[in-house]
Amino acid sequence: MKEKIFVFGASGHAKVVIDIIERQGLFEIGFLVDDNPALKGQSFFCYPVIGGKDELLASNIRKGIVAIGSNSARRTVASWLSDQGCEMVTAIHPSAQVAREVTIGNGSVIMAGAVINSDTTIGYDVIVNTRSSIDHDCNIGDGVHLAPGSTLCGSVTIGEESFVCAGATVIPNLTIGSKVTVGAGSTVIRDVPDGVTVVGSPAKKL
C-alpha cells in the first residue's frame, strides 16, 4: 500500500507535479491544499481540495510537496510546513536523466526530459523544469527555478530563489547570485551579483 501525501497548490504548475507523482508511482495523493477559499471543497485535476493550512493541520497526513511556481511563495509555504513537522517528498519524472553522485533536496521537482549530470547538488524546493539541462559539478541553491529548456554548463553555482527563464544558457564556471532573474533566451557569460535581472546575449543587467 502506497503512503498517502498531500500536494500544496492547485494551479497549472500543480497539474504537472501531480502527473509526475502519479507516473513516479511511489506515493498516493490523498488531497490537495490551497489557501484560496474559493477552491475549498472543489475537485482539481481529479483530487479534492480540502482547504488551506487549517484543514491540512486537522488531517492525518504530514508528508507532501509544495506545487507553487513562485520561488518566494514556494519557499514560504515550505518553511511553514517544516515548522509544523511536515516532511517534503521529491518528485522526479521517469523520463528525467539523473546521473551518478547527484544530490537532490527534499521538496524538489524534476520534470520530464530534464538532465542532471554527475556531482551536481540540487537544493531544497527546486524546480528543474521540462527539458532543462544541468551539467556536471553544478550547485543549485534552495528555491531555484530552472525554466523549460534552460541550460547550465559545468561547474555553475546558482544562489537561492533565482529564476533562470526559458531557453537561457549559463556558460561554465560562473556564479549566479541569489534572487537573480536571467531573462528568456539570454546567454550569461560572466558572474551575476545578488538581486539583479540580466537579459540578452550576452546577458546584461537591466
CA distance 196 to 181: 7
Coil, helix or strand at residue 187? strand
Q: Which three cell numbers stand for residue 84?
A: 509544523
Residue 145: active-site member:
no
CA distance 128 to 114: 7
> Which residue in 13, 93, 136, 145 is the catalytic one?
136
User: Residue 39 has what DSSP assignment?
Assistant: G
- Helices and strands per DSSP (H, E), number in the chain: 3, 25
Give the number of other Cβ atoms within 10 Å of residue 25's Cβ. Answer: 9
Beta bridge partners of 199: 204
Phi and psi of 91, rounded to 5°?
A: -115, 120
- Active-site positions? 136
